[in-house]
Amino acid sequence: MAELACETIQIAYFAPYSYERHQDLLAAVQTHPLVTLEHLGDTLDKRDLTLVKIGDGDTNKRNIWITARQHPGETMAEWLVEGLLYSLLDSDNANSRLLLDKANFYIVPNMNPDGSVRGHLRTNAAGTNLNREWASPSLDKSPEVFYVIKKMEETGVDLFYDVHGDEALPYAFLAGSQGTPSYNERLAHLRDRFSDALKLANADFQTEVGYEIDAPGEGEHDACNPLGR
């Protein structure tokens, strides 16, 4: 048996997405003429919470918000955002050109940089699950959510797409806002249209496996974030 060349081995539950790669991603996309980086605020460990803005700022366009890695251990979320960013900025991608003609994008690739660097699975530097903070975030426990909501109130939000991964369900699926009190027929129709569009765009997306659907007003969710895990 060959002798090991090192004394330590690391085994990842999900494909790692390092903080260095996160910084490299921000550096790469900011050179595009449609991209502006905005520092929303400092995390508890004094790291930047960075917003990637894509678009021309036309106030007549829709405003689409996308966040990832509220649970820092769900690294696949930032892998998805990396691919999304490069697709949106690909001038040869007809779908991306059409989307940018209709919408401005506000993307936070990593909502929880402190938890990512510390090696946390679900929490930030204060031990807070950010996904449970959307009803009443605070600068002491959840500045990341506090700053994002503040910016959302400034821009307005037509679509909020919060990217997660699930260690128990290896499927691509939507966890919608059916359990919130404001859910109605209009939102149900829009959600169904979005789901149908995802089926056409990505063969990996499916609707057979996912979370149980709550009745309106009966979901164990936060006021603003539909996933609420």
Closest by CA position to 184, among listed 217, 161, 145: 217
For range 165-185, the mean pLDDT: 90
For range 39-62, the mean pLDDT: 96
The answer on pLDDT for 54 being more than 50 is: yes
Helix pair 76-88, 19-29: axis angle to 10 deg: 10
Model confidence pTM above 0.75:
yes
Lowest mean pLDDT among 8-17, 90-99, 138-147: 8-17
More confident residue, 86 or 4: 86
DSSP string of 80-123, one letter each residue: HHHHHHHHHT-TT-HHHHHHHHHEEEEEES-S-HHHHHHT-SS-
Q: What's the CA gap between 204 and 202, in Å, rounded?
A: 5
Long-range contacts of 90-93 (CB under 8 A, 24+ apart): none
Both tokens of 218, joined, read: 């009966």
Q: What's the CA gap between 163 and 112, in Å, rounded?
A: 13
Question: Which pLDDT does position 207 carry in this prediction?
Answer: 95
Lowest mean pLDDT among 195-199, 202-206, 216-220: 216-220
For the domain made up of 19-165, give the CATH fold: Aminopeptidase (3.40.630)
Please write the tens of the pLDDT for every residue from 135-164.
Answer: 999 999 999 999 999 999 999 999 999 999
The answer on pLDDT for 221 being more than 50 is: no
The answer on pLDDT for 226 being more than 90 is: no
Domain locations in the chain? 19-165
For range 96-121, the mean pLDDT: 97
Name beta bridge partners: 162. 67
Average per-residue pLDDT for the chain: 92
The answer on pLDDT for 120 being more than 70 is: yes
